[in-house]
Amino acid sequence: MNCIRPLPASRPAGATQPGANNSPITRSNWLNAVAEKMSAYFPFRTDIVLDQLRNQGLFPYVTAPRFSINGGEVPSGTSLTV
């Protein structure tokens, strides 16, 4: 899945990133920030948010089933366990 989209033109040309030594916001800066969030934030944050929702009774304590064969066609007569 490719989630990289153009940046909206919400900042004037030459705008700087707050708190980053007034460095310009570039495509490279943006892609690095996205990569960091995708690898070091979201994988861990998901479980935290789900636990918070479960503790408030807003999300069930149900796990997805696991199948002995993952995806694709299962030929007729194949033994499949859940």
- Tell me the residue type at 13: A
Q: How far apart are CA 71 and CA 11, in angstroms?
A: 45
Amino acid 42: pLDDT: 92
14's tokens = 């030459």
pLDDT at residue 60 in the model? 92
Give me the pLDDT at residue 6, please: 65
Give the per-residue pLDDT at 65.
85
What are the residue ranges spanned by the domains of the chain? 23-70
Q: How far apart are CA 29 and CA 18, in angstroms?
A: 13
> 74: Cβ–Cβ under 8 A, 6 or more apart, which residues?
80
User: 27-40 and 42-55 helices cross at what angle (nearest 10)?
Assistant: 50
Q: Return per-residue pLDDT of the chain as tens, 82 residues.
A: 566 666 665 655 555 555 556 667 788 888 998 999 999 999 999 899 999 999 999 999 888 888 888 778 888 888 888 8
Give residue 27's identity as a one-letter amino acid code: R
